[in-house]
Amino acid sequence: MKIMKSVEKIPGGLMLVPLFLGAIVHTLAPKSGEYFGSFTNGLMTGTVPILAVWFFCMGAGINIKSTGTVLRKSGTLVLTKIAVAWIVVIVASLFLPHNGVQTGLFAGFSVLALISCMDMTNGGLYASIMQQYGSKEEAGAFVLMSLESGPLVTMLVLGSTGLAAFEPHTFVGAVLPFLVGFALGNLDPELRDFFSKATNTMIPFFGFALGNSIDLTVIAKTGLAGIIIGILVIIITGIPLMLADKFIGGGNGTAGLAASSTAGAAVANPMIIADMKPEFLSMAQSATALVAASVIVTSILVPILTAYWSQYMKKKENGGRLKPKEEKVAG
96-155 per-position pLDDT tens digit = 988 888 888 888 899 999 999 998 887 767 876 776 787 766 666 666 676 666 677 888
Predicted pLDDT of residue 139: 64
Count CB neighbours of 325 within 10 A.
8
Q: Are 260 and 308 in contact (CB under 8 A)?
A: no
- What is the per-residue DSSP string for 44-71? HH-HHHHHHHHHHHHHHT--TT--HHHH
Please state whether the predicted TM-score (pTM) of the whole model is above 0.75: no
One-letter amino acid for residue 207 of the chain: G
Predicted pLDDT of residue 330: 45
**Range of the structural domain that residue 24 is part of:** 3-330
Residue 229 has pLDDT above 70, yes or no: yes
Q: How far apart are CA 103 and CA 12, in angstroms?
A: 29
307-330 per-position pLDDT tens digit = 889 889 888 877 766 555 454 444
Q: How far apart are CA 152 and CA 77, in angstroms?
A: 17
Residue 46 has pLDDT above 90, yes or no: no
Predicted pLDDT of residue 169: 76
The number of domains in the chain is 1
Predicted pLDDT of residue 309: 93
The whole-angstrom distance between residue 312's C-alpha and the CA centroid of its chain comes to: 27
**Comparison of pLDDT for 113 and 303, the residue scoring more:** 113
Predicted pLDDT of residue 165: 67
- Tally of CA atoms within 13 A in the half-sphere of 140 that contains its CB: 14
The whole-angstrom distance between residue 219's C-alpha and the CA centroid of its chain comes to: 18
Contacts of 166 (CB under 8 A, 6+ apart): 155, 158, 159, 276, 277
Q: Are 182 and 62 in contact (CB under 8 A)?
A: yes
CATH number at residue 187: 1.20.1530
Predicted pLDDT of residue 81: 92
Q: How far apart are CA 115 and CA 87, in angstroms?
A: 10
64-103 per-position pLDDT tens digit = 776 566 677 778 898 999 999 999 999 999 999 888 888 8
